[in-house]
Copies of this chain bind each other. A is one copy, B any other.
Amino acid sequence: MLVVQKYGGTSVGTLERIRKVAEKVIAYKGKGADMVVVVSAMSGETDRLLQLAAKASSSPDERELDVLISTGEQVTSALLAITLRDLGFHTVSLLASQIRIVTDSAYGRARIEEVEREKVMSALRKGQIVVVPGFQGIDSEGNITTLGRGGSDTTAVAMAASLKADLCEIYTDVDGVYTTDPNITAKARRLERISYDEMLEMASLGAKVLQTRSVELARKYKVPLLVKSSFVDGKGTLVCEEVPMMEQVVVAGVTYNKSEAKITVSEVPDRPGTASLIFDPLAEAGIVVDMIVQNVSHRGLTDMTFTTAKTDARRAYKLMEKVAHEAGAQVVTVDEDIAKISIVGSGMRSHTGIATKMFAVLAKEGINIEMISTSEIKISCVIKEKYGELAVRALHTAFGLDADEVVEER
Residues on A lying within 8 angstroms of B by beta carbon are 15, 18-19, 49, 52-53, 55-61, 63-65, 67-68, 71, 74-75, 77-79, 81-83, 85-86, 91-93, 95, 97-98, 142-144
Contact = CB atoms under 8 A, between A and B. Distances in A.
Contact of A82 (B60, B83, B95): B60
A79 B65 CA distance: 8
12 contacts: A15-B55, A15-B56, A18-B56, A49-B75, A52-B75, A58-B86, A61-B85, A65-B78, A67-B93, A68-B74, A71-B74, A95-B144
A108 B136 CA distance: 25
Given A49-B75, A71-B71, A75-B71, A86 B57 contact: yes
Contact of A64 (B64, B93, B142, B144): B93
The complex is assembled from copies of this chain, and their number is 2
A74 B82 contact: no
Q: Most B CB atoms within 10 A — which of A58, A77, A144?
A: A144
A65 to B, nearest CB: 7
Contacts of A63: 92
Top 4 closest A-B pairs, CB basis? A57-B86, A68-B78, A71-B71, A67-B78
A142 B116 CA distance: 15
A81 to B, nearest CB: 4
A81 B64 contact: yes
A86 B56 contact: yes
A334 B143 CA distance: 56
A57 B82 contact: yes
A82 B53 contact: yes
Contacts of A53: 78-79, 82
Contacts of A93: 64, 67
B57 A85 contact: yes
Contacts of A55: 15
A64 B133 CA distance: 13
Nearest to A144: B95
A65 B86 CA distance: 12
A54 B144 CA distance: 28
Nearest to A131: B64
A75 B93 CA distance: 19
Given A15-B52, A97-B97, A68 B75 contact: yes
A334 B142 CA distance: 56
A92 B75 CA distance: 23
Contacts of A57: 82-83, 85-86
Contact of A81 (B19, B61, B85): B61
Contacts of A15: 52, 55-56
A219 B184 CA distance: 72
A38 to B, nearest CB: 15
Contacts of A142: 97-98
